[in-house]
Amino acid sequence: MPLLIRGGTVVNHDHSRRADVLIHGETIAAVATAIEAPAGSAIIDAGGCYVMPGGIDPHTHLEMPFMGTVTADDFESGTKAALTGGTTMVVDHCLPDPGQSLLSAYQDWRRKSEVAAADYGFHMAVTSWSKQIHDEMETVVKTYGINTFKHFMAYKGALMVNDDELYNSFARCAGLGAMPLVHAENGDIVARMQEAMMARGVTGPEGHAYSRPPEVEGEATNRAIMIADMTGTPLYVVHTSCREAHEAIARARAAGKRVYGEPLIQHLLLDAREYASKDWNHSAQRVMSPPFRDKVHQDSLWAGLQAGSLQVVATDHCAFTTEQKRFGLDDFRKIPNGTGGLEDRMPLLWTAGVGTGRLTKEEFVAVTSANIARILNIYPRKGAVATGSDADLVVWDPAATKAIRASTQFSRIDYNVFEGFTCTGAPAITLSRGKIAWKDGDLRAGKGDGRYIERPAFPPV
Q: Are strands 69-70 and 3-6 parallel, antiparallel or unpaired?
A: unpaired
Q: Pick from 306, 321, 322, 424: which binds a copy of itself (CB under 8 A)?
A: 306
Instruction: Give burial (CB, 10 Å; 0-12/13-18/19+) of 441.
Output: exposed
Note whether 14 binds a copy of itself by CB under 8 A. yes
CB-based burial, 103-127: b 16+ in 10 Å, e otherwise: bebbebbeebbebbbbbbbbbbbbb
Q: Pick from 219, 274, 344, 390: which binds a copy of itself (CB under 8 A)?
A: 219
CB 52 within 8 A of CB 16: no
Give the angle 30-362-368 at the CA atoms, nearest 5°. Answer: 90
- What is the three-class DSSP state of 55? strand
Per the DSSP assignment, residues forming a β-bridge with 396 are: 50, 427
**In the complex, minimum distance from the CB of residue 70 to a copy of itself, in angstroms, rounded to a whole number:** 30
Number of residues lying near Zn ion (CB under 5 A): 2
Q: Pick from 71, 84, 309, 351: which binds a copy of itself (CB under 8 A)?
A: 309
Q: Pick from 75, 109, 379, 415: which binds a copy of itself (CB under 8 A)?
A: 379
- Return the closest-CA partner of residue 270 out of 197, 172, 177, 341: 341
Q: Pick from 63, 316, 390, 392: which binds Zn ion (CB under 5 A)?
A: 316
Q: Nearest 5°: phi and psi at 350?
A: -60, -45
Note whether 119 binds Zn ion by CB under 5 A. no
Only segment of 138-146, 222-230, 327-335, 414-422 that touches a copy of itself (CB under 8 A)? 222-230
Note whether 451 binds a copy of itself by CB under 8 A. no
Q: Are strands 435-439 and 442-443 parallel, antiparallel or unpaired?
A: antiparallel
Q: What is the DSSP letter of 327?
A: G
Only segment of 21-29, 161-169, 312-320, 396-404 that touches Zn ion (CB under 5 A)? 312-320
Note whether 36 binds a copy of itself by CB under 8 A. no
Query: How far is the C-alpha of 72 from the C-alpha of 57, rounded, in Å?
Result: 18
Number of residues lying near a copy of itself (CB under 8 A): 49
Binding mask 150-169 for a copy of itself (x = CB under 8 A): ------------xxx--xx-
Note whether 183 binds Zn ion by CB under 5 A. yes
**In the complex, minimum distance from the CB of residue 192 to a copy of itself, in angstroms, rounded to a whole number:** 5
- Return the closest-CA partner of residue 458 out of 158, 83, 50, 175: 175
Residue with the closest Cβ to Zn ion? 183
179-208: contacts with a copy of itself (CB under 8 A): 186, 188-189, 191-193
**In the complex, minimum distance from the CB of residue 245 to a copy of itself, in angstroms, rounded to a whole number:** 12
Q: Pick from 1, 42, 255, 276: which binds a copy of itself (CB under 8 A)?
A: 255
**In the complex, minimum distance from the CB of residue 108 to Zn ion, in angstroms, rounded to a whole number:** 18
Q: How far apart are the first and last CA of the chain?
A: 44
The footprint of Zn ion (CB under 5 A) covers 183, 316
